[in-house]
Amino acid sequence: MTSTPTDLPAALESGLRDYLAHLRVERGLSTNTVEAYRRDLTRYADFLGVRGRTAPAEVTEADVEAYLDAVRAGDDGGRPLSASSTARALAALRGWHRFALAEGDADTDPSADVAAPTKTRRLPHALSVDAVARLLAAASAGDGATGLRDRALLELLYSTGGRISEVVGLDVDDVGTEDAVRLFGKGGKERVVPVGSYARDAIDAYLVRARPALVEAGSVRGRSTPALFLNARGTRLSRQSAWAVLQRAADRAGIAEHVSPHTLRHSFATHLLAGGADVRVVQELLGHASVTTTQIYTMVTPEALREVYAAAHPRALG
């Protein structure tokens, strides 16, 4: 017996349930195969719910493309997928959309023209410094506990270039009183990363004015946690919830392009390199084992080349 999430919009939940029943009953797929479809499509439906989609008919091609980008990087709260696994996920969601179209639950198939991913993952576009400032300002909607938490979370992501799993995995003791934070990367490897004044101030405000209220919400149920970032139940904020925080801030900031936690990490590296930081310093800050991984951030755009040429070459300007 398969199941679907209970916290999805009703039309998404019923549409997914109907499709899984179709696979099991009408197409006669095995229990294991249907279960694999359920896992892939539940992740997809959760992603659509975060983006505010309430029914299959509301899904756009941009939603499908954003989902594929998110699962490749693990920015939706799940584990990152390889190119082949992402292609499998695309095949699963295409089947659902074709079914919705055939059943009259949608007028178009938003997945029809989406290409399967190649083995080389495209890096997310770096936000401009101004766009990052607007995003961070939009994070704190009011002075409530969650607003202060959201601002501290996004400030810390951008200030350190940390992976979303590293930042939501922080405990209060990892922050300390110094202007630095201990991040634990892949394989449990620890690194100490400086924290800028904006992020430090946001964290201090959260710790003093917001976290105690969230702790109190958890203590009602007899729970306590050393986690730095807490949800409304007083337990550790999940990767998916942190991703949703970023999405809401991007929407409020009027940023039309797809923004993920990895976008902030990419922006962090790009802005440092543009400001003159050495690539090996950025390598250490990002926690890359090899500088080769970091060097992909040094790709120069044609616009940047023209700007440097115009400013530096003695005969560039008439």
Catalytic residue among 24, 72, 151, 265: 265
Catalytic residue among 43, 53, 97, 262: 262
Catalytic residue at 262?
Answer: yes
Catalytic residue among 37, 44, 206, 297: 297
Catalytic residue among 186, 221, 223, 280: 186
Catalytic residue at 315?
Answer: no
Catalytic residue at 182?
Answer: no
Catalytic residue at 297?
Answer: yes
Catalytic residue at 233?
Answer: no
Catalytic residue at 309?
Answer: no
Catalytic residue among 97, 163, 236, 239: 163
Query: Of 234, 230, 252, 254, nearest to 242 (Cα)?
Result: 230
Please identify every residue annotated as catalytic. 163, 186, 262, 265, 288, 297
